[in-house]
Each structure stands twice: as structure tokens, then as C-alpha cells.
Amino acid sequence: MLILLVLLIKSLAAQVAKEQVVRANVTVQNGKITLNWPEENYTGNYILYKKLKYNEENWSSEPIAVLNGSTSSYTDNSTVSGERYEYLIVKSRGTTTDAFGYICAGNNAEEINRFGGIILLIDSNYIFPLNSEIQRLVLDLQSEGWRVITSYAGRNEKPTDVKNRISSLKELNQEIQSILILGNVPIPYSGFYSVNGDAPPPDGHVEGSGNHTGAWPADVYYGILENVFTDNTVNCTTGAQLRNHNVPNDGKFDQTKLPTIAVLEVGRIDLTNLPAFTKNDIELTRDYLNRNHAWRNGEWNVVERGLVDNNFTSLNLASTGYANFTAILGRDSVYDNRDYFASQKSGSYLFSYGCGAGSYTSCNGIGNTINFTNDSIENVFTILAGSYFGDWDNTNNFLRAPLASSSLGSFWGGIPKWYIHHMGVGERIGKGIKISQNNTGFYFTGNFNMSQNSMHIAYMGDPTLKIRNLPAVKSMKAVSSNNLVYLNWNREENNSYAVYRFDTLNRIFDRVHNELINDTFFVDSFNHTSGKYVYAVKCIKLETTGSGTYYNTGGAAYADVDHVNSIFTINGSKNTLRVYPNPASDHIRILFDSKSNSTSIYRATIYDMYGKAITHFQIQPKYNREASIDISQLADGIYVCEIVGDGVTYTQKVVVSK
């Protein structure tokens, strides 16, 4: 499949952006996913592929369907409720490919419980003036399930020193998957962009044509954990600006392409050096964090539509806007006949895309940095493409300006192509950041100035953001009584709720019920062993987007409880049963108390998490009230103890930890 993409990319160069995209969206009906795209009298075929696994790069080796050019839909009858899928649609005439389409599809997809880690890497100048806003951000992230690790950096540090701290934190916390840079944390530079180098500058301004050569800002450096960067070979001083010059041992790196994959998602909120705005960087950052809080708590609502203002009609750049917006919002919610600033002054947009001939502070046909200071626009995610402003470490930079105005995210999209369509099934934008940086051809790159998989690819904004947000539950209480756990919480509007119990070994929350809860209380009767438990409750809602249906959640309220329970119910009678200790190291004991009078023989079996039976034994409560199982040979991990008797099956997770 990769060979197909590589062979056919060249045929797309002459097509305009809208024609190069199969603008697909998804509908879900009767539990089936249907892909839809515009109907036309196309003389070729639509060839459909499907990922074998949603989170892996593995298109099916054979098409799932080959359809004639008059077809405009396809129903996949092999999908199941609760899952996410991803599809590739190739629009092809013999050996010529005219367009690609990518879309994720949710079939009532389960909510995503992201309880990984994030490094909040903060400019040390912000420690005191933005302390309350930073602490609120930490609480917001924690309520969503993130484990937040806070680190500070001075503006005059070396990027290598900052990177070493990130690597050390990752070694101690393997669950870390994101970095949010707040402020003017040291900016790494990398690359040999030159007509004589590894690749031309991404915007094409080689020597004699703008001289945008040498090294560019490269935040992806912080997301690559392997020690593979060098600073001893590149010698390029042809750039018009001194900061782009790259010579041996100057602290700027040689690598133009990613030397290995980016492991961490990186986003930066840096509002320094924007004198066009009347506020300083501290106040601009405060405003951003206030908008961020309102957005992620469902307090800021915008019209879910996308705007494409394409001033490069002969180039393929704007296909990044068409492709992502259609997949996320649906075709009818994407507008390409409206002016970028004029339309956003009169109404809000979830996404906007603008491209045209550019400078560091302007984009032909779109506007300039001053427009972002003067015009009151409402836009959450901005994509821009044009010369120079993708090199974002300069005064009044056009790419960073939206974050000082109204946006929460901004990136240089189209040089190369970006893929954030996963947001349509509830994913955060960080997934798309890392995919776009690591992409070498699994997705169509755009084939623009060899810009794919390059060190310049960067995201301005918070990488943890989603397209839709529900309010966080504010408070919850948990009480253990009569062998049950009673939970109650405050109502947040007319929302449904989901309750989770924390798995301390895997650091994830397991849903403790199947149906949505429409009240503000829940009784957990499934904790058969005594101990300390942590619960969370979240608002939950089935969402419908251009990518199908998925369950979305808001931030959580947490409560812990010291629970006492040893009651095991068999055929309506109560027998006291204890499985202890838990965690265990050498033996697991099962004990019935003196009131247990069943003459039945109970069978107990220990299974590993793959369902393989490890050991078993029998116990008769009336005559043999205690049994001991030797687990000294078991590796550390989670096992299941299953006890069957009197027509009842009892299961209990057991943690082995030596």
C-alpha cells in the first residue's frame, strides 16, 4: 500500500486543492457505518482501504471495495458498536490517482480514558504572575485524567539541558505522552534547508529567492527522546536572518528530517515578542489560559463550521483544510466562498484555514498580524499556509498571532499536509500533531518542497484540546455502608454520567456500569473485598459528527472511600467470603466464616489476564472454611480468582506484587 502512495503522488501536482481530496463524511444507522462523498460522473474508480487496527499504520493489503465512478457511498457491514475505524479512499483512473480521502469513523465508539502523563514545561518568568492560572490549568488537566508533571525552564538555558530534563522525567514516568510548553522556553533550531543542503526551505525561498535558508525553529526536538542529534557538520550562512545561520558547535542541530520518530506530542504557547498587541506576553498568556479553561469546561460555544480561504488556487496547500474540516464537520459545514477576517468578525468558526503568498507578518488575500489585534474574531483552531510565517520565532509572527487574539491552536498546514481528522471521533489534537510530524508517506504528504517529516513541523497551542467539551463534575462523595459503596454528586445541567473505579496497578479508570446514569447517585455492589477505593464520575454524552458517533466525557470529580465488604451472595443467602491479602506475594487465602453452612463443593481457579488457567482447587464451606493457594511462582501482575459454587460465579481481580 505504501508503494501505491509513493508511485501516484506525482500525478496530483497539477490539481487544485479541492479536487485533490475525496471529501468524505460518515453516517451511522442501524449500527452500520456508511461513508459518503460528493456524487460526480467520474470516469475512474473509488478504491477503499481500511486499517487493520485503528491505532497502527496498517492499511488492508487488498481493497475492501472497488466502486465505479458514479458511486457516492459505501456501507461497511463488518463494524461493531463501541469501536473506531479509519478508511482510505483512493480516487483513481488506471495508473493515475486524482485524489485521496482519509476519514475516521465511530460506531458509538467508547469514550477515551486518557490517563497518561503530560509535562507542563513553564517559562520561569511565569511562576509568580500566572500562578493561579497555571494551577487552574493543572486542575483542569487532572480532572480529565492527566497526570501532570510540572517543570520550569529559564529563557537563557540551552535546549539540550531542557531536553535532558524531559528525558529524565520520561524515564521516571513512562506514561508521559505530551508536552505543553508555556512561554519563551528555549527554542531549538535545526536543519540544513538550502539548495545545497538536505532539502530546500519548506516555503521554497532558497538562495537568491528570499534566502530563507539554514536552520528553522524545531520544537519537535523535545518530542524525540533518543540522543541522535548532532551539531558538527552543517555550515550554512546564506540565510537573510542571522538566527537561521547554522554552523558547527553553535547550539543549532544538523538534522533537517526527523532522525527517528517523535514519541511525545509537543505544543507551545509563546506570546512573547508580539508588540503589535497592546498587552505584554504575561497578560496575553493569561487571556489564553482563561479561554483555554472556558473551552475545556464547555463554557465557550462556537458554531461548528469550517472556513477555507484559498489564495493559492494552483497549489495543493488548502487540501489540508478541505480534508480535515469535511471529515470532522461534514461537507455542508465547510465554506470556501467567504473572506477570512470579514466572515469571522460576523460569526464564530470552530476551524479556519487561510493561505496565500506570505511574509513573517502577513498572508496575501488573508490579512496581517495587525488584523488579529484590531478585529474581534472568534475562532478555535486556525490553520495558515504561506511563506515565512512557518518560521515562527520572530517579531509579530503571523502564525503565533491567532493565539494572542482568539484561537487556542495554530499551525502551518499544507507544507506538509497535516492530519487531525481523528478529532472527529473524540481524539485530542495532539494525536494529529505527532502523526503529521512522523508521516513519511503512510498518508499523502503533499510532496511540497520535500517538507514532509521535517524538523520545522510545529504546533502553536495546547495539544490536549478536543473539538467538543462537557462541563466537569464539581464534587462527589463516596460512603461505604452495609457492604456497598454509595456515590452521589452535583448535577451539571441535563447531562448523563459515567462512574469509574481506579485500577491502581495500571493507573487507569475502569467503567463500573454499562448504561448511562441519568441521576446523581450510584450504588456499587461489586466491590467484594475490603480496601481503599478511588472513584471518578464524569458527564458523558453520545456525540454525532462528520465522522460518526462517539461517547464524549467532561472532567471528573474524584472521591476515595475506605470500603468494608466481605459478603458473598449465593442463591439468595449470604455467606461471608474473604479473598486476601490483595495485593499478595506468596499465597492467596480464601476464607468462609463460621456462618457459612453450604455443603456444596466450590471450585476456585486462578487465571492470568489472557484467560489461561494457572491453578485451581476445591473448598467445601461447611467442612473446610479456608484454602490457601501458592502463588510464589507467579510473575507480578493482575490475575483473576474465579470461585464457582451453588450456581453462582464470583470473580475478583488479584494483584501479585513481590
Q: Are 517 and 499 in contact (CB under 8 A)?
A: yes
Tell me, yes or no, whether 377 lies in a domain.
no
307 belongs to a structural domain: no
Distance set, CA 568 to CA 181, 364, 577, 631, 646 (Å): 51, 73, 6, 23, 12
* Domain that residue 105 falls in: 1-109
Cα 351 to Cα 652: distance, rounded to the nearest angstrom: 47
Other CB atoms within 10 Å distance of the CB of residue 72 = 15
Instruction: State the DSSP code for 584.
Output: B
What is the mean pLDDT, run by run of 10 residues, along the chain of 658 residues? Answer: 37 64 95 96 96 95 96 96 97 93 97 89 98 97 94 98 97 94 98 97 97 98 96 98 98 98 98 97 98 96 97 92 97 96 95 97 97 90 96 98 97 97 98 98 94 98 97 93 89 90 74 90 77 91 98 95 66 60 83 65 81 81 75 86 76 81
> Residue 566: helix, strand or coil by DSSP?
coil
As a whole number of Å, the CA-based R_g of the chain is 28
DSSP secondary structure letters along 224-252: --SS----SS--B--SSSGGG-B-TTSS-
For residue 373, with 0-12 CB atoms within 10 Å meaning exposed, 13-18 middle and 19 or more buried, which class applies?
A: middle
Q: Is residue 339 part of a domain?
A: no
Is the separation of the CB atoms in 118 and 176 below 8 Å? yes
350 within a domain of the structure (yes/no): no
**What's the pLDDT tens digit per position in 570-603?**
444 455 667 778 788 888 888 766 555 667 788 8
Backbone angles phi, psi at 570, to 5 degrees: -130, 115
Nearest residue to 505 (alpha-carbon basis) of 657, 610, 607: 657
Amino acid at 61: S
d(CA 92, CA 20): 11
Closest CA to 131 of 282, 348, 4, 327: 282
Q: Quick check: is 211 in a domain?
A: yes
For residue range 58-94, list pLDDT tens digits in order.
Answer: 999 999 999 999 999 999 999 999 999 999 999 999 8
Q: Could you give the 3-state DSSP secondary structure of residue 162? A: helix
Whether 140 and 220 map to the same domain: the answer is yes
Q: In terms of domains, do 558 and 580 share one? A: no
Q: Is 383 part of any domain?
A: no
Do 121 and 265 lie in one domain? The reply is yes
The domain boundary, picked from 62, 92, 109, lies at 109
CATH number at residue 558: 2.60.40.10
* 224 and 201 co-located in one domain: yes
pLDDT of residue 505: 61
Phi and psi at residue 619, in whole multiples of 5°?
-145, 140
CATH code where residue 625 lies: 2.60.40.3080
What whole-number distance in Å separates Cα of residue 619 and Cα of residue 622? 9
- Whether 4 and 123 share a structural domain: no
In a domain? residue 412: no
Please state, in angstroms and rounded to a whole number, the distance separating the CA atoms of residues 574 and 576.
7
Give tens-digit pLDDT for 328-352: 999 999 999 999 999 999 999 999 9
User: Looking at the structure, do residues 134 and 262 belong to the same domain, yes or no?
Assistant: yes
Residues 6 or more apart in contact with residue 494 via CB below 8 angstroms: none
Decide which of 269, 288, 318 is a domain's last residue: 269
> How many Cα neighbours within 13 Å face the side chain of 44?
13
* 345 inside domain: no
Instruction: Report the SS3 class of residue 456.
Output: coil
In this structure, the answer to whether residues 206 and 165 fall within a common structural domain is yes
Are residues 199 and 68 part of one domain? no
- Round to whole Å and give the CA distance between 291 and 137: 11
Residue where a domain stops, chosen among 563, 590, 614: 563
Specify the pLDDT at position 8.
40
- Residue 82 cell numbers, joined: 463501541
Angle at 44 between CA 41 and CA 45, to 5 degrees: 105
Amino acid 378 reads E
